[in-house]
Amino acid sequence: MGKGRKNKPKKNFAEKRREKLKKKDEWDNTPHRSYADIIRENKDFEDYYKTQRIVPEDKWDAFISTIRTNLPVAFRITGSKVEAKALLKIIKSDFFKEILNANSKDDKGDADGSSKTILHSLPFYPEELAWQLQLTRKDIRRSEAYFRLHNFLIAETNNGSISRQEVVSMVPPLVLDVKPSHKVLDMCAAPGSKTAQLIEMIHADEGTDPPEGFVIANDVDNIRCYMLVHQAKRLNSPNILITNHDSSIMPNFVITKPDGTKDTLKFDRILADVPCSGDGTMRKNPDIWCKWSPANGSNLHGIQYRIAKRGLELLAIGGRMVYSTCSLNPIENEAVLHRLLCETGDSVQLIDCRDLVPGLVCDPGVTRWKPASKNLQYYDNWDDVPEQWQTQVRPKMFPPDANEATKFHLERCMRILPHHQDTGGFFVAVLEKVKSLPWENDTSALNQTAQDADGNENKDKHVLGEEVSQGTMLSESGKRTLEEEKKSRESQKKRRRIVGYREDPFVFFKDQTEDVWQSIKDFYGISDDLDPRCLLVRCHEGKKKNIYFTSPAIRDIVVSNENKVKMINTGVKTFVRCDNKNMNCAFRLAQEGMHSISRYINGHRKIQVSKEDLIMLLQNDNPHTPPEIVKLSPNTQECLKEFAIGSCILLYKEEETDNLNRLNLQLVGWRGVMSLRAYVPICDAIHYLRLLGADCSKFEKNKFEENRAAALAEDVNNDDVKTELETKEIKTED
């Protein structure tokens, strides 16, 4: 045994490399189908949705023609109100005017002679902070104005001041109506664009920092959780915790009350943007045209129901939960809500929140639909379903009787269709919990729901066609026995426990006696209002490298629940180890945590700088040659005379003008022996230079300028060659 493997000659590096290149050549020579080559037609799709009547007959042509086109670009302006307003002013004056001018020169209009609207603000999004652009890659390549905007969006996205997001994806957080004091749970949060909106709403009241509220962003997929980490880091909030758990069996979080006793956390707001078949995203994911089947929605109905049900259990009385999908299918939308409303009785109700998104065009939810099997056979009731399809079409997928339909108010749901305002398709419903759920008085049943992967679906757990975990679809080969299903679930539980990276621990400072704390506190003059127990590191032993800051509420949740839920990330980086022999403190400030920590730092590490000084500091992109202090204004030089070497805060406040939104910037700086520098990343420097109205072109690449320079160089070279040839010809004649 094993001799064959031992005697097999090993391949050397060159042979392995040749094989790899051969496979690459084979792959390169294989014809691939790009999105442009996909035929955007599917007869089953059209037949199914015509039967469901989700689109009025006279609007069908507009619907189907729109869903076959590419999706326009959309983005939001984020950050503090003052900076967002300033950035909006820059965009509208600098970039949009160029685009409109370029469009008036280049665009000849549509086939019917009408002019295409290149850009517009979204009417339902507050204060013109969200925009939609009718631009393609081809447009960007052919116009310098478009290309400059493209570069701008990339730079500001890296900085966190712009968020690229689909128009319809912006709706759920808006109708959730989050306030800064709310405890919010995002059950299926990745990739995190809606989570970012929720965090912004928590920080809406900029007078209270950090706010009382917080966001717990959860996702079952360990890898996708790191997309959430990326989004959260761009927003620099100490009020977010990212967790990795199956949301359909999310455990109860324990919290500490002011009197020191423990209690169960109930959320004021919950977003259940559940996994779905995604046929509303066909405009950006055209491969769905090839894969679409009515079975896709039926297979997801069960997990969608379980996530939404668990969400209602975690919701506080008087709280709201938004249920949303990017699917058009009533089986994934109204059928799930109907099932929930039947079980919860009068403890939960659908509410109409269209007033929170004025100007948004949408249709009401449907009250009639027909479940269908994979072979596109439609059924009016469960008794009509043949046995072979009873694992896919379930009894609770059917609509309410005509006599009872009105009591569920499914018309309060919002169906956003592609042709309404040139977007993707989306479904949104807002549920309000008016009293305890019928089974919430049974403590043992509730505990079972929180801990058992089967939840309240035990009666259906032998049935095929419903997912056993998010993102996992069962085969359709037939029913399993109860014993086989148990074994399958146990193996999945075990796999879920060990999957993903092993996270570093969250080690909070114990109290004022933490070894590095006193030197940090003394050097920066930090007030006693900052509780050092809200600071954490990610290691038990060794030197503390990065120190993070969290809100007190997030700290309590992490400490009380880290053995129940896998914690991925929390806290905003505030202090970074910097072993500089000239510095009295071993830690410098981090720009990420500036807004969270600056209010606790007294004036002796803060420098008021002029606009001219700040621009000069930001334009210096060479850390080895920072601006000398003698080049700064006399006032700044005077402030720096008795200023100790090390990390500091640069303050700039715009002079009083008619503008109500005066800039008030706080940046990390570094006071050297003979110099001063702005200690911020390049993307932040570009952002602040824009806000200050300064030139930041040295940081930007302009493809059109580069092409012009290359063409000029080529012309010069051609002239040189021509001259040389002419010279040779003259010599030959001589």
The b/e string for 445-479 (b: 16+ C-beta within 10 A; e otherwise) is ebeebbeebbbbbeeebebbbbbbbbeebbeeeee
Using CA atoms, how far apart are residues 479 and 710, in angstroms rounded to an integer? 67
User: Chain-centre distance of CA 410, in angstroms?
Assistant: 29
CA dihedral 65, 366, 52, 55 (to 10 degrees): -20
pLDDT of residue 454: 38
**Ordered alpha helix ranges (H), 203-279:** 222-235
Question: Residue 38: its pLDDT value, please?
Answer: 84
Quick one: pLDDT at residue 379? 96
Task: Tell me what pLDDT residue 522 has.
Answer: 93
Write the DSSP symbol of residue 387: G
Which among 316, 338, 351 has a CA at the least distance from the CA of 431? 351
pLDDT of 22 reads 52
Residue stretches of the chain with pLDDT short of 70 = 1-36, 100-117, 136-138, 140-141, 207-209, 442-501, 581, 657-660, 701-734
What pLDDT was estimated at residue 580? 73
Contacts of 106 (CB under 8 A, 6+ apart): 142, 143
The residue type found at 57 is: E
User: Which one is catalytic: 326, 534, 585, 648?
Assistant: 326
Q: CA torsion 427→433→439→440, rounded to 10°? A: 130
Q: Mutual orientation of helices 443-451 and 294-314 as an angle, nearest 10°?
A: 130
| CA pair distance 217, 198, nearest whole angstrom | 10
* 417: its two tokens: 């269709």
Exposure class string for 169-184: b at 16+ Cβ within 10 A, else e: bbbbbbbbebebebbb
Do residues 485 and 461 lie in contact, with contact meaning Cβ atoms separated by under 8 Å?
yes
Active-site residue, 413 included:
no
At residue 426, the pLDDT reads: 98
Rounded Cα distance, 670 and 650, in Å? 9
What residues form DSSP beta bridges with 430? 322, 351
